[in-house]
Amino acid sequence: MASEPMRDPIKDHLLTPKNSALIIIDYQPVQVSSVASMDRRTLVQNIVTVVRLAKLFQLPIVLSTVNVQTGGAPTIHQLQDVLGEIEVFDRTTINAWEDVEFVKAVRATGRKKLIMTALWTEACLSFPALDALREGYEVYPVVDAVGGTSLEAHQTALERIAQAGGKLVSWAQLACELQRDWARKDTAKPFAEILFAVEGR
């Protein structure tokens, strides 16, 4: 069996390591502790997995927090441990797309496909997702790495994003879409380790 030649990684309509960026918004203790749409431990494991994938495939990452400069807690340590030294864009706006520095950082990635994660789904995910879609970006919320204050709030927000043109993905779908072919040896082994680590949870 032979694989087809690799598609143009920038023009591909699917996600590739060369056409997408990861956006991470407000994974802070207060926000995590108030999630009620899924198990919080699983939520943290899933967002850590998404970040590990982004690091493996060398995606540009834009990280934002809210109100840390005015006394709020920073990004949870589980994410900080994986992210390492990375610039953080702290804001006062609930909608990150209304923060000048954040939007500038997103544009600076040069990517039009935004893999978007945030807490909560109904606010800090949906607002920038809707604004980014309006500006011509493609937005891919990772549905099992985001959460809301209730299951209804979470699901309603995802429906609103999808109705506006957002493309919902799971973390496993994201992983397979970025890897695409087991013959891509540079990432195949660590990809498999990340993908199947879920069985050991």
Write out the catalytic residue numbers. Answer: 124
Q: Exposure string (b/e) for 179-201, b if CB count within 10 Å is 16 or more?
A: bbeeeeeebeeebeebbeeeeee
CB 13 within 8 A of CB 167: no
Sign of CA dihedral 46, 49, 51, 53: negative
Nearest to 18 by CA among 178, 196, 188, 201: 178
Bridge partners, 169 (sequence order) = 142
Q: Pairing mode, if any, of strands 61-66 and 20-25?
A: parallel
User: Residue 14 has what DSSP assignment?
Assistant: S
- Measured in degrees and rounded to the nearest 5, phi and psi for residue 39 equal -60, 130
Give the three-class secondary structure for 79: helix
Bridge partners, 113 (sequence order) = 20, 138
